[in-house]
Each structure stands twice: as structure tokens, then as C-alpha cells.
Amino acid sequence: MTPFSKVTIPSLTGRVRGGSVLFLLLLFFSSCSSDSSDYDPYHHWRTRNEAWYAGVADSARTAIAAAQRQYGDRWEEHCDWRMYKSLRRSPIYQTGHLEDSICVHILTRGEGSVSPLSTDTVYINFRGWLMPTTDAEGNRKDIIFAQTYYGTFDPATAAATKSVVNAFSEGFETALQYMVAGDDWNVYIPQDLFYGSSGKDVIPGYSAALFRINMVKVQPVK
């Protein structure tokens, strides 16, 4: 995944290659007033990110369980939440740690019929955020570190970027391999499936992430 740029994320409910990607590379360290020079928005960053992702996962599991109780095998038709285990890890049917999986909230269901393999090429629109934090005055700060479009997402005007699926982080790659053309998802990725303890460029170590991903086209390897 190429260097990411810099956010204001929508509410939690609601490797990129090519010159078409609009990198923002913003230095997202909050500026502090003179009387709060010791303020650190990344204090206990690892613990806070773990708790944030666990909260999202709890929402996903609760919604899925409720749909399964009510609709049985047809629960997916009535629930917009999913949890997908990383396809790079142990077989899907084996139990793993929470951070082996991503959480997905479906915004729009596409009508495509093919999901890409890791070696296939996709055309996508996306925007990525770090976990919400606050500034020295306690105001919420939502940090965008990468995006391929400006302003409100409009599929009619957004210029999709082209990339091989396995050029992305593990969590991002996993999400893509479950998507079909027309899908528009919020994808929550835990630290372990993003950049882990090392971080990358403007992304601090131990960061979880939220991506909005719109799958435009799948181009299988011939």
C-alpha cells in the first residue's frame, strides 16, 4: 500500500497506486493552545484503539445474532452487519482472536456477481479515517489519512482508482474479496490487520481504521 494521506469521519453508524489517488498527506497532530502544551491526543493510543474496535465488533455481533434468531439461514437478507475473518490467516471455520476479523456495515448492496481474488484488479473509491479523537478543548476530531475523492461521495462524479487487490493492507484486502460491483461499505479494520505496532507514514502504530469503500468494477486475471 502506498503512503496514505490525511480526517472528519462520518458517525460510526452511518496500496494504492496510480496518479488518480488524491493524497492529502496532512500532518494530523492537533495544534494545542499555549495553556495546553502537554496535550497528547494519542495518549494510550493502543488501548483506546483496541477498545474502539471491540465496541464496533460488539455492535456487529449483536445485530448479527438478532437477525439470526429472527430469520435463521436468511439472516443476511435482513442484516447490514458482517464480520469476516482475514483470508490470510487460519481457515475461516477455525476460531480466532477478535483482531483476526474485520467488521463491515453495508451502506449499499451491489448487483455484481463476482468477488475478486487477491491477484485480481479492482476499480474502487475509498476514504480512510483513524479512530475519532479529541482536541485540547475536548472537541471531536476525525482524521482522514487517505481518500480518492473530495467532499461528499458521489459515485456519478468520483474517479475510481485501479489497483491489484493484494497491494492493500490485510484487512482492506479481505474486505475487497467479499465485495461485488456496486457494493458500498463501511469497513472497520483492527490494528493487527492494518499496520500493527509499526504504523506507516502519517499513521501511528497500533491504529485501527475505518474505510468507506465503493467497489466500481472487478477485473479478474485472464
Tens digit of each residue's pLDDT (9 = 90 or more) over 173-205 = 999 999 999 999 999 999 999 999 999 999 999
Distant-in-sequence, close-in-space partners of 202: CB < 8 Å, separation ≥ 6: 3, 4, 5, 6, 25, 26, 27, 28, 145
**Amino acid symbol at 61:** R
Residue-level pLDDT at 16:
38
Residue extents of the structural domains in the chain: 39-219
Of 55-64, 93-102, 121-130, 159-168, where does mean pLDDT reach its minimum?
93-102
On whether the pTM is more than 0.85, the answer is no
The top-level CATH class assigned to 39-219 is: alpha beta
Question: Do 19 and 38 form a contact (C-beta atoms < 8 A)?
Answer: no
Tens digit of each residue's pLDDT (9 = 90 or more) over 32-88 = 333 456 788 889 999 999 999 999 999 999 999 999 999 999 999 999 999 999 988
